Amino acid sequence: MRCNPRYEILFEPVRIGPVTAPNRFYQTPHATGMGHQKPQSGAALRGIKAEGGWGVVSTEYCSIHPSSDDSPFGFLTLWDEDDVRDLARTADAIHAHGSLAAVELWHGGAHTNNRLTREQLLAPSAQPAKFVQPGGARAMDRQDINDFRRWQRQAAIRARRAGFDIVYCYAGHDYLPFQFLSRRTNRRTDEYGGTLENRVRLLREMIEDTKEAVGDSCAVAVRLAVDELHGPHGITHEGEGRDVVEMLAEVPDLWDVNIAGSLGNDSKSSRFSSEGFQEDYVGFVKRLTTKPVVSVGRFTSPDTMADQIRRGVQDFIGAARPSIADPFLPKKVFEGREDEIRECIGCNICRAANNESVPLRCTQNPTVGEEWRRGWHPEQVDAKRSEARVLVVGAGPAGLECALTLGRRGYGVMLAEAANTLGGRVSREATLPGLGAWARVRDHRLHMLTKQARVEIYPGSRLGAEDVLSLGVDHVVLATGSSWRRDGVGASIEMPVDFPASPSILTPDDIFAGAAVIGPVLVYDDEHYFMGGALAEKLRLAGHKVTIVTPLPVVSSWTQMTDEQFFVQKQLMEVGIDLLLSHSLTSATDGIAEFACAYTGRVTWREFGTLVLVTGRIADQALFDALCATTGSGESFPSITRIGDCLAPSSIADAVHSGHKFARCLDQPTEATMPLRERPFYSTGAKPWNALQHVADPVVPSAKSAASRSALGNS
């Protein structure tokens, strides 16, 4: 099959300065949680993107100097020749599939923490650190500015030597160059402060310095936040953001534009934004420059992508999260397989990984982050190693993914689901306010299962132990999910609370099952992810007076990891939900709940018509226990394995990964299922960064000589 004619525009080559992208699919810079400590993992991940058809593949943020240290978060570095060697792996992996390799050179200024390097924070003007920590950033003097420009040049030269085609000047997300642009953070009175022309001076110099450093072999891109969402006191797309683009319109080779203020604004979850939501802010840029423009907006629909190009909004379709959910999205569009795209659900589990300083993970794509350490490919699986037949019990996210992957390997699979509808928890949770896109987890897998002739699906089939054993399968996989606890045990309360049996004390399972709700409603959230806040909003929208109570100082506290917490709390307050923070539930009876302050222990009471307990979950393993009691130790019985929430309740992403892992590893030798680990390496003897601070710019070598590339490849 070939590309649908209405999408042909997406596969036109686009010139970027001295280089040409083979198509309009542009994987914009995004974090991986791997950084400089896991160069092989990072290279494998980016190589898969190129193989999947992304015409430009960018790295995550890459520090130009140890004064820009984001430890313990995963970031890249171009401080010395060891970094050149490591990043050459990534450039090579991208080039192997004909794509352009881009590197995002970065200095965070006051938005770094420097806890590892212990360098002083730098900023245009003296200010507190952007990360909450003792101390702050000092105002840069003239020598600091000269040093910064030299660090950018040196990093750009190293980027060229590593083989990159596009080198970034990064002026977004409230990092150092953007701090010079914004009046909120630039209070200088010299030629780098005051008027906008002065505040733009450093960015203009960065672009010119970078162009001079890389010569005519690399393109120079600018990533700019055209609106920091702080109103008239900051950069706005209708004011100074537009003016900056007008001043520098033809200076860079490419404009990569977005909104900032925080990463949460740029990578806003689907719960609080729609596809293409940034167009209202960035749509003007293309009208002000002849240079190519790229932006993002969680694009998943090829029709929306083509429309962006035809209407002149941008020249490339920028994507970070959609390229994680489906690295082969461009190739599927080109081959007429749009129906097979694994659409991003906008849950921001990928952002959580970086915020937790661990390698990337994704709800839709269980192979991301596993490309090197497990050798998993998103579109390829090993063929079956036996004629074993497998029964999967439960068609939630873990069961669906397990059955699909087993079917792709060629195994005969029976998928049995007790309910008449498939999807398990996904089908329930997708009904909550703002979470409709989560249904894509179910819908994609059900659609792909229709293409698996060896997978049989049996809804409305509740199986007991004898039923399972009578089927004569070789392997039984239990994906029976979990249930919400009724005893109050959660993240903060370890001992059960003595609740009376009452129709007015419910769990989320009861709400989804249609239990009657009488106001006023108390939602007690000791789980701290999305459920408590989303249920509170659902019940408020149904007309109830709602109060959400949590033992922690903010609601839905874990959503700080997904960059959503601010938006969650703002939404709850705007719809009129009362908040009782830092209070733990101690008892509830006769329509009165008792709470104790987490700090003082002082007791307060609240009346309720309905109390909803959003605390912990317990694995549903009754069938597992029954099977274990029946099978004993007999060798003729099938293997029995639990996956997903049935094994350990967690996120949908973890459930999908668990199901995929079982299917990948079935019949594989044990050693083949063990993940690899990247080890620290010994330096090649390059000078340490502090010895390079006052060295003149290195001479640019001839581009990508065979000898140097060979040496880099063999390291």
For residues 12 and 492, give the distance between their C-alpha atoms in angstroms, rounded to a whole number.
Answer: 55
What pairs with residue 548 in β-bridges? 523, 579
Sign, CA torsion 231/30/56/297:
negative
Q: Region 560-579: what's the mean pLDDT?
A: 97
What confidence score (pLDDT) does residue 690 get?
A: 45
The amino acid at residue 396 is G
Burial class (CB in 10 A: 0-12, 13-18, 19+), 433: middle
Give me the pLDDT at residue 632, please.
Answer: 59
Catalogue the active-site residues: 175
Q: State the pLDDT at residue 681.
A: 65
Phi, psi for residue 508 in degrees, rounded to 5? -55, -35
Distance in angstroms (rounded) separating the CA atoms of residues 414 and 393: 8
Residues 456 and 440: their CA atoms lie apart, in Å, by 21
pLDDT tens-place string over residues 415-459 = 999 999 999 999 999 999 999 999 999 999 999 999 999 999 999
Task: Tell me how far apart the alpha carbons of residues 550 and 306 are, in angstroms, rounded to a whole number.
Answer: 45
Q: Could you say which architecture CATH assigns to the domain 486-618? A: 3-Layer(bba) Sandwich (3.50)
Round the average pLDDT of the chain to a whole number and report it: 92
Q: How far apart are CA 165 and CA 167, in angstroms?
A: 7
Q: Which helix (H) or strand (E) holds 63?
A: strand 56-63
Write the DSSP string, 285-325.
GGGT-SS-EEE-S----HHHHHHHHHTTS-SEEEESHHHHH
User: Is residue 672 scored above 50 in pLDDT?
Assistant: yes
C-alpha dihedral over 680, 376, 275, 56, to 10 degrees? Answer: 60
pLDDT band at 262 (very low <50, low <70, confident <90, very high): low
**659 near 643, Cβ under 8 Å?**
yes
Does CATH number 3.40.50.720 belong to domain 389-481+620-667? yes
Query: Which token pair is 170?
Result: 């990064």
Lowest mean pLDDT segment, chosen from 181-190, 263-272, 528-537, 662-671: 263-272
Q: Which pairing describes strands 475-478 and 389-393: parallel, antiparallel, or unpaired?
A: parallel
Which of 218, 221, 211 lies closest to 253, judged by CA? 221
Identify the H or E element spanning 612.
strand 610-614
Tokens linked to 407:
């079917």
Render pLDDT for 469-505 as a digit per residue (tens, 0 to 9): 999 999 999 999 999 999 999 999 888 998 888 999 9
pLDDT cut 90: percent of the chain above it: 87
Question: 203 phi and psi, to 5 degrees?
Answer: -65, -40
Q: pLDDT confidence of 711, banded at 50, 70, 90?
A: very low
Backbone angles phi, psi at 110, to 5 degrees: -75, -5
- φ and ψ at 366, to 5 degrees? -70, -10
- Edge-first strand listing for the sheet containing 578-581: 505-506, 610-614, 521-525, 546-550, 578-581
Per-residue pLDDT, 260: 80
| Domain residue spans of the chain | 5-376+688-714, 389-481+620-667, 486-618
The answer regarding whether domain 5-376+688-714 maps to CATH 3.40.190.10 reads: no
User: What is the CA 94 to chain-centroid distance, rounded?
Assistant: 21
- What's the alpha-carbon Rg for the chain, to the nearest Å? 27
Q: Each residue of 579-630: pLDDT tens digit?
A: 999 999 999 998 999 999 999 999 999 999 999 999 999 999 999 999 999 8
Q: How many residues does the chain have?
A: 715
pLDDT beyond 80 at 371 = yes
Closest CA to 369 of 44, 87, 88: 44
Give the residue carrying structure tokens 């990964």: 657
* Topology match between the domains 5-376+688-714 and 486-618: no
- Within 148-292, strands assigned E span 166-171, 219-227, 254-259
Q: How many Cα neighbours within 13 Å face the side chain of 380? A: 8
Note the pLDDT tens digit of each residue in 484-493. Answer: 999 999 999 8
